[in-house]
């Protein structure tokens, strides 16, 4: 058998293997892009910190991120007047007691190791990233309010939709939705730890995420993550996300996040 004939013969044999398999139902290209967005987001934001982080935040972000004492606001201890005046201190008041030590950080800047990296525009009073320090590690909570035009741009202007379908939920677990009394749609889900084969460094830990699609078209998301592992890691992963699913569900419905 000459080489050309052999090539053709082997190709035919391989073709018979392929012929026997049914093509899978298309997962759709959107799942690929959603997963890619999530991976990218994780890579960009995989940095967080508190106590030890507080020092790092002070170094990386410069003054003004933490209060004048260099400490974050702790919901576990009696807050001082200063803690109530900072954004982190006010945010800590919205959290259940014992959540941990709260400091405002910029995951973007920490991840990029660039203290002057341009921050995304904040639309909500508590929009931003907060490190949650506990004895067992460092996690974080992120709050982000998307105004209607931006939300419409992402969803094609389809109006109120199911957050479980719109969110980058590839790999997420147990997404549940409920319609609230004001007509908003709330979705809450869990994301397992990052697949190390896909993005070995930094690898995000387990997290709970909630998305609230408001009746006026805005979209509020809150993430409670156990942290990340990899370069820039400021502490070990928390054993559990800083907020339980129920606590996250309650927090995202707090109107203070929208005012």
- Residues engaged in binding other proteins (CB under 8 A): 6-7, 10-11, 13-14, 16-24, 26-27, 29, 31-33, 35-36, 39-40, 197-198
Residue that is written with structure tokens 């058998």 in the block: 1
Q: How far is the CB of 190 from other proteins (least distance, A)?
A: 20
172 and 90 Cβ atoms separated by less than 8 Å: no
Closer to other proteins at the Cβ: 82 or 200?
A: 200
Q: Look at the chain and count its residues.
A: 259
Q: How far is the CB of 39 from other proteins (least distance, A)?
A: 6
- Sign of torsion over alpha carbons 99, 208, 252, 124: positive
Q: How far is the CB of 172 from other proteins (least distance, A)?
A: 15
Query: Alpha-carbon distance 222 to 241, whole Å?
Result: 12
Nearest one of 158, 140, 138 to 148, comparing CA atoms: 158
- Sign of torsion over alpha carbons 232, 235, 236, 238: negative
174 and 190 Cβ atoms separated by less than 8 Å: yes
* Alpha carbon 36 to its chain's center: 14
Q: How far is the CB of 152 from other proteins (least distance, A)?
A: 17
Q: How far is the CB of 231 from other proteins (least distance, A)?
A: 17
Residue that is written with structure tokens 């203070």 in the block: 256
Nearest one of 149, 189, 142, 136 to 166, comparing CA atoms: 189
Closer to other proteins at the Cβ: 7 or 77?
A: 7
């Amino acid at each position: 058998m000459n080489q050309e004939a052999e090539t053709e013969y082997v190709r035919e044999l391989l073709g018979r293997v392929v012929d026997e398999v049914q093509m899978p139902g298309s997962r759709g290209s959107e799942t690929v892009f959603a997963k890619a967005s999530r991976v990218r987001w994780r890579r960009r934001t995989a940095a967080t910190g508190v106590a030890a982080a507080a020092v790092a935040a002070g170094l990386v972000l410069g003054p003004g991120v933490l209060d004048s004492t260099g400490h974050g606001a702790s919901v576990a201890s009696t807050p001082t007047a200063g803690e109530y005046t900072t954004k982190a201190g006010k945010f800590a008041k919205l959290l259940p007691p014992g959540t941990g030590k709260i400091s405002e950080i910029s995951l973007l800047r920490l991840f990029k190791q660039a203290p002057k990296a341009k921050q995304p525009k904040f639309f909500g009073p508590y929009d931003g990233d907060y490190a949650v320090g506990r004895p067992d590690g460092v996690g974080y909570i992120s709050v982000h309010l998307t105004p209607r035009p931006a939300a419409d741009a992402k969803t094609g202007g389809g109006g109120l939709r199911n957050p479980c379908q719109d969110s980058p939920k590839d790999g997420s677990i147990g997404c549940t939705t409920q319609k609230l009394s004001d007509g908003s749609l709330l979705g809450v889900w869990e994301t397992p730890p990052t697949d190390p084969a896909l993005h070995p460094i930094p690898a995000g830990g387990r997290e709970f995420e909630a998305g609230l699609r408001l009746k006026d078209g805005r979209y509020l998301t809150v993430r409670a993550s156990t942290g990340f592992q990899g370069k820039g890691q400021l502490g070990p992963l928390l054993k559990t996300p800083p907020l339980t699913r129920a606590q996250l569900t309650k927090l995202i419905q707090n109107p203070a996040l929208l005012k």
